[in-house]
Structure formats: structure tokens, C-alpha cells
A and B are shown apart, each in its own frame.
Chain A
Amino acid sequence: MTTIDVGVIPIPHGRGGVRRETYLNIAHTVKSWALTTDHKRIGILYLVTTIMTLGLGGAFALILRTEHLTPQMTFLDAYTYNRMFTMHGIVMVWLFMIPSIPTAFGNFVLPIMLGAKDVAFPRLNLLSYYIYLAGVVWVLVALWMGGCDTGWTFYTPYSAHSPSAVVPTVLGIFILGWSTIITGVNFIVTTHTMRVKGMGWFRMPLFVWNLYAVSIIQVLATPVLAISLAIVGLDHWFDWGLFDPARGGDPVLYQHLFWFYSHPAVYIMILPAMGVIAEVVCTFSHKNPSSYKAIAYSALGIAFVGFLTWGHHMFVAGMSQFDAAAFGVLSMLVAIFSAIKVFTWVLTMRKGSVVLRTPLVYFFAFLFLFVFGGMTGVAVATESLDIHWHDTYFIVAHFHFIMVGGTLTGWLAGLHYWFPKMTGRMYNERWGITGATLVFAGFFLTFFPQFLLGNAGMPRRYYYYNPVYQPLHVVSTVGSWLLGAAMLMTLGYLLVALFAGPRASANPWDSRSYEWYTPSPPPKHNFTKEPVFALDPYDYTVPFPGVGDEADGSLARDPGGAANG
């Protein structure tokens, strides 16, 4: 076994030693952050911004749930409620979920995982952040102008006639879409062209595969959203009537265009989380994935087949039996790919060396919620059953199980997993596990009752509801407060760790994936010499190279730290 040379500048420990240069301390000016082309700093910029948008979307959620304590007005009027559920969806989907994992964690670790110094187009990367920021600002402007009330789906003809701030809202989303596309282009080109010598496609960490698949979807699907929303904007602002039946238009065609994007969009939201999970499961089981190729290919499978299933949102929108059957069977097929991933992750733990740390607790939460939520997805893909469930709280519960129980849990797993790498500090494990448990409990309490509400026939986007539903709503609301509190608590202890947590070593989890070969936090160019990764990223048959290497201490074991059982 050869010693791995990662070219870290050796700096002696102890008093009087020169502090090690990292991407964080190399410059402190505002300009060095605002004009950075360092993918790691851009990742941090995105992380901070997406945490804020998560907070905004979450605040809307809590207000909406609190309004639902009573069947009639609690403290919001109907028009405000309708705008708020719309903006909640828009902020969560486009300002948080779609960017969250790829732009924050993807940006940070992708080049390091490939042994590269940066992404293929660093300046474009910065541009993508500013476009994202412009989109966020514009959506905030739309909010200030009263927000939009059409639902995040903007169905016509209502969206062409709604008295709310439709045009500013769609413009903000339009702008955000270009950020997503640029990020996608960047990641695809980076993966193709910037792998270190000797790293074939099947030597890459699995997170890269998922990012790659996501980027393909982003590049191909997002433009269709852009044009759909542009047309809604034209119809609303100029009354061009492109979906107006009186002028030859077809309102259902809008739905086809919109869902052609929005179904792949949900895979944009879940694939990166699946990538995080793959990394977390292997690291904390100290084991190779039970089938590397299954995870890699299923990511591509989801990306491809995901484009063919949009009609399952339209089973009751006026569809021929043939179309409904075709979309139904394809939707079942795409679920198979997710099932492959789930089984691969679980079987990875078999004959592993499993230790329960916060990221793995989030994996278990993910496993429970994503699998149950995914199964309800198979259920609603069954055409005859969807007739009853479509546009009811059952659907709301289903997609929140996947989006929150899946994506958000994956994001939280990634946040904790890469926290030491990004910040050089370690969070407190007990707070972490407590937080994860409370997030899970709060989530389940919030959304499980909604399946029952949907079964009873309560439609979604309802301001008033039948009073017999009130008990379930109260449970759901209390759950949401618990979830909100747990999220705030998580933010709290992570901030404490950021400023006062113990220093983390290069590889506190004793992982084999390539981002752990650099110190925590990494230096500006990730590696000072071209790295040579002699092992594959999931080879736990041998010790981590660098164990016992005291060259600079930063690769030493984490004393009494997280890698211990």
C-alpha cells in the first residue's frame, strides 16, 4: 500500500506555529467573498442563502398550519391564506429544495471528490450564485407586492386572471431557473473533464453520480418550465390568451408543459439527497456499497424514466385511457429504480461495521419516511385510486413525506456529515441525535394525519374545512410546531459548534471517500499537488492511508472523536 501524497503543507502544532492556510482564512474581506471563484466559498454562500430561504418557507408553513387550528378563520383571511400556501410552495421548491444540496454541498465537495482544484467554469459558478440571488430577491419583491395565489403550479386560466402578483412571481422563478441550468452545465462538464488522472467513471464517489444525473435533468427540464411560466406571464400581463379556449388555446396543454418539467423536478429534488445517503451509509457502515453499479445506474434510470411519467399528475384532467395506462406503468417503473437504491443502501450495512452518528440517524429517518412516502407514491400512481386522492391532502402528505422526509432529511444528513469538512469544527453528537429524533417525530406528527384527511376527502388548498376534520388538523399543527422547534434547535447547536466546537481532523468519520483526504477545512486549491487516490472510495478492507502519518497532524486520527465506535 503506497502512502498517499496529498501535498498538504506541513505546519507544526503548538504555540508559535503558523496557522494553517485554509479556504476560509486565506482572505477576510467582503470583496474576497463577493467576487470569489472558489467553489468552496460559493458553496458556503449558497448554503447560507438556502438556509435563509428554508427559514422563510418554514415560517410560511408554520403560519399556514396554525391557521388550520380552526375550520374557519383563525387569524388569516382566505386571500392571504391562498397567497401564503402558494409562496410557501414556491419558496420551498425553487428557492430551497432544488438548489439546496447541489449548490451547497455539491459545489463544495464535487471538485474535491474528483481530485480537481475547482469546477470547470468557476466564474460561471459565481454568476450562477448571483443569478440565484437575483431570483431570490425578485421573489421577495413579488412577496412585498402581495404574492401570488395560484398555487405553485400556476394552472391556467386562473393564473392568467388572478388578481394577485403573478407576473413578478413567475419572473423571479424564471430568473432562478437560469441559475439551475448554469450549475447543471458546470457539473456535467466538471465530471467529464476534471477527474484526476486514473479516476475512471466507476471510481468516482457515488455522490458524483447522483449530481451528474441531477444536472442532466436540470439542463433539460428547467427550460421547459421557463417557457411555461413565460407564457403564463405573457397571458397575465398582455392577455395574449395562449391558453384561452376562446382564442384557440387549450388550458390542459399548460398542464402537460408544466408537469413535463415538474415531474423531473421532483427527481432534481430527491436525487442529490439519495447521493448524500449513499455516502453516509457507506461511511458509517464502514463498508463498500452492496452494489456500486446499481446506485450509479439507477440514478441515470431515474433521470431518464422520470421524463416519461408526467401524466400521472393529470389522471383526472381529461386523459385517454391509453395515456393514463402508459403514464401509470411508467410511474411504477421509476419507482423500481428508487427501490433498487433503497435495497442497495440497506444491504450495504450487512456485514459492515455500523456506528450510529447523527448523519446515520438521519439516514434511518430518511429510510422510514422516504420508503413509506415512496410507497404512497406507488399507490397514487395507480390510476383508479388516484381519482379519489388527486388534489386532496393525501397528495400533500405524499409529497411532503418525500420532500421533507426525503430531501430535507438528506440535506440535514449532508449538513452534519460535511460540517467538519467545511468548517473544521465538530458539532455535539448528543444534540445532533436529539435534533434528528425530534425532527423525525415532528415531521411524522405533522404529515401522517394528512393521509387520513386526504382519505376522508379533504381537498388541498382549502381555507375553510369541514369541522369534523379539526382533530386531525390540530395534531398536524402541533407536529409542525415541534418540527419547527427542532429545526431551530438544530440551527442553534450548529452555530454553537461553528464558533466554539472542537476542531475536527481531516477524516473524523474514518471514511474512504476522497473529500476526506484533505484537511478540514481544505486549503484554497483543495490539493497543493495533484492527488493520487490509490484506493477506491469505498475500500474499507485496509486502513485509511495517512493513519499514523504524523507529517502535519491534520491527517491524524481524531482523538476520542467521531470515528470511535
Chain B
Amino acid sequence: MNNLLRGWLNLPPQASTYARSLDLLHYFVIASTMVGATFVFLLALYFLTRYHRQRPYELTSRVKTGVPIEFAIIGGLQVLFLVFWVIGATQYQHVMNAPPGAMQVYVTAKQWMWKFSYPDGSASMDVLTVPLGKPIKLVMTSRDVIHSFYVPAFRAKHDVVPGRYYTIWFTANTPGLFNIECAEYCGVDHSRMLGLVQVLSDEDYRRWLDGRPVATEEGLAGASARGGGDLAERGREVASRRGCFNCHTLDGQPHVGPSWAGLYMSSVRLTDGRTVVADEAYLTRSMMDPQADVVAGYKGVMPTYRGALEEPEVAALVEFIKTLQNTPFAPSMQLPKVVPETQGQPQEPKP
């Protein structure tokens, strides 16, 4: 029944522990109000036909609704609305107050990306990795304007405001990937301020923490949880910091630019018809002179990082991309294939 109604109402999966009870209230509210509305409308239609004018200028008698009926209607509606309110307020309290001992993740929103900092000091961008079945408390602030952190599948949302910290929490009950959307207009790329919550089962989460790539069903190359370390790790951190993930994904999903999954040593078709191999030279040239080899199907909008990246950073990035060579191509998130315009985009994403 739950799933039937959920399907009819086009609701996302109930991927958090409180999503189901919120949806049950949803069904109750919508069903009872729609039944009431239908009744009112049908009553009006009935009166239209039953009391249709028989003759022109027909007169009527003065009929007033009895006060008891008025009070019954008003009273009944009031009771119904108060029931909605009581349940809603109780659920709201539950959703807005994290249980004690929840794992805390810091969230920083800025135009137009999400940054996550984990308790062990590591960080990630746009992808929030959490363990299954454990309460997670998000402590959120913004670097610039008001954003809103929204995970439809969890039924969780809260505004993210500069100068303040707000918290929400959830416990994910299903492994998988769930969309994060920004739900407060924040500028030109508001609709591209997307992310993912990656919910991992216990074992997968442990592996993710250890830094090894995770072979999940979705085939997402696990982002290493540890900062520092070897060069490839460094490369990941550089990529995060320099905003590479604005345009390049790690799971095979084409975005503004090609995905890095399976890129190294693959055959790449370019816009001018040539086909080249994506070796170290190609990767380095892409960063220094991006217009030289533009991949077919993409616009040449990548900025150059000549002078912006130091040599060790370039090397680190290349090493990182090499580690993604065998990542299975399995885009599970429906990111729009973005084709940005070259007209005056007034605000570049701040790196």
C-alpha cells in the first residue's frame, strides 16, 4: 500500500528511517483533503443541476444556513487540521533534533558546490559518504549566500546560511547513491549545485575508510578517506581543492568534461577527428593547454591551469587519474550532461 501510494504520488524511495512515517502522514493529509475537496465540488455540481433555473426572473426564498451546521463544518475541519498539525509538529521535532552520539559531518556550501569534512579530518567534495544504519548529523554553513541542503530520498532539507551553523540529521536505511540538490536559489548555477550521498554497508564503509577502492554495485571508485599519504592521494586532494570535480566525475558519468573513470590509456576521439591515447602527456597537456585536444561531444570550456598548478600538483593529479584506470564505467546518478554557454556567465565558480 505504501509503495502503491508512493508510486502514484511520484515520491522518491524512502531511504531514511523517518521518510516512511513522513510519507504516511503525507498520504493521510492528501487523501483526506482531496476527499473533502471532491465532496465540496460534487455538492456544488449537484446544486447546479438540482436547483437549475426553471423560468427567467425566477424568485427564491431567503434561506440561511443553520448555525449548528456551520459550526459542525467548521468544527470538523478544525479538528482534522489540528490532527495534521499535532502529527506534523511531532515529526518535525523528531527530524530537527539529532539523536545523541550521531556521527558529525561538517558541510560547507558555496557557489556552486558542497564540501564535506569528516570526523577523521578528511574531506570530500560533492559526494557525502556515510555508513548505513547509523545516525549522521550534518553541521552546515555557507561561505557566501544562502543555499539549502536537500536529499529528496531522505525527505531531509535545511537552509544553509552564512555566518551560522544549522544542523539536520538522518539515518540511511538503504545502501546506494542518493541525490543532493541545492534548494535555495543561489545564482546562475543553482541547478548544477548537485551532489551525492553515498550510503555504504558496514563492510564497504570500512573498506572506504581504509582507503581502498570499493567494489560496490554502483561501481563507484571509493574516494579515499585519508588525507596526505602517497602522491595519488595528494592528487585527489588537489583535484578537490582546485575545483576539478565541478566538471569531471569519477564514476564514468559525462559532465561538463569527460569522466576520469577509465580514462588513463583509453582511446579518446577528439573534435577534429583525431583519435589519441590518453597517456601522461595527454593528461598534462589537457591541464596546461585544454583547447589543444578537445574531446568530441564536449565544448572547449576548460580553463587553463598553466601557472595555477605547481609541478608537483600536476604530477599528483596525473597519478590520481591513473589509479582510476580500471574503474568500471557505471554512472548511476542522472547528472545532466551540461553544455554550458559561452555567453556572459557573470560569476565563475570560485575555486
Please report A residues at the B interface, Cβ cutoff 8 Å. Answer: 71-73, 77-79, 82, 149-151, 155-158, 161-164, 245-246, 250-252, 285-288, 290-291, 294, 315-318, 321, 324-325, 328-329, 332-333, 335-336, 339-340, 342-344, 346-347, 349-356, 364, 367-368, 371-372, 375-376, 378-379, 381-385, 387-388, 390-392, 452-453, 455-457, 459-468, 510, 539-544, 547, 557, 563-565
Contact = CB atoms under 8 A, between A and B. Distances in A.
Contacts of B40: 342-343, 346, 367, 371
A252 B163 CA distance: 11
A131 B132 CA distance: 60
A350 B183 contact: no
B59 A543 contact: yes
B69 to A, nearest CB: 8
Contacts of B181: 457, 459
Contact of B89 (A324, A542, A547, A565): A324
Nearest to A346: B44
A285 B51 contact: yes
Interface residues of B, number: 95
B236 interface: no
Given A252-B161, A288-B62, A379-B29, 6 more contacts: A164-B346, A318-B161, A328-B88, A387-B95, A392-B183, A459-B183
17 contacts: A79-B343, A82-B185, A158-B185, A163-B346, A290-B65, A291-B65, A328-B88, A332-B84, A346-B40, A349-B48, A354-B51, A372-B37, A376-B30, A379-B33, A382-B85, A565-B54, A565-B55
Interface of B: 9-12, 22, 25-26, 29-30, 33-34, 36-37, 40-41, 43-45, 47-48, 51-65, 70, 73-74, 77-78, 81-82, 84-85, 87-96, 144-146, 148, 150, 152-153, 155-159, 161-164, 166, 179, 181-192, 334, 336-339, 341, 343-347
Contacts of A392: 183
A372 B78 CA distance: 17
B162 A157 contact: yes
Contact of B57 (A150, A459, A510): A510
B163 A382 contact: no
Given A346-B44, A349-B51, A462-B190, A565 B56 contact: yes
A387 B156 contact: yes
A286 B60 contact: yes
A539 B82 CA distance: 38
A463 B112 CA distance: 14
A368 B39 CA distance: 10
Contact of A349 (B41, B44, B59, B192): B44
Given A354-B47, A382-B85, A344 B345 contact: no
A448 B294 CA distance: 43
Contacts of B60: 285-288, 351-353, 540-541
A463 B191 contact: yes
Nearest to B335: A466
A540 B61 CA distance: 7
Contacts of A371: 37, 40-41
B39 to A, nearest CB: 10
Contacts of B183: 390-392, 459
Given A252-B161, A332-B81, A547 B12 contact: no
A54 to B, nearest CB: 24
A378 B88 contact: no
Contacts of B48: 349, 354, 356, 364
B33 A378 contact: yes
B25 A163 contact: no
A541 B152 CA distance: 57
B146 A456 contact: no
A355 B49 CA distance: 9
A468 B332 CA distance: 13
Contact of A245 (B37, B157, B162, B345): B162
Give 7 nearest A-B pairs by CB, closest first. Answer: A245-B163, A457-B152, A384-B91, A375-B33, A565-B53, A382-B88, A349-B47
Contact of A375 (B36, B82, B89, B192): B36
Contacts of A346: 40, 43-44, 47
Contacts of A156: 146
A457 B57 contact: no
A340 B47 contact: no
Contact of A77 (B89, B186, B343): B343
A372 B93 CA distance: 28
Contacts of A328: 85, 88-89
A77 B346 CA distance: 12
Given A318-B166, A367-B44, A391 B95 contact: no
B65 A344 contact: yes
B61 A316 contact: no
Contacts of A510: 56-57
A398 B339 CA distance: 32
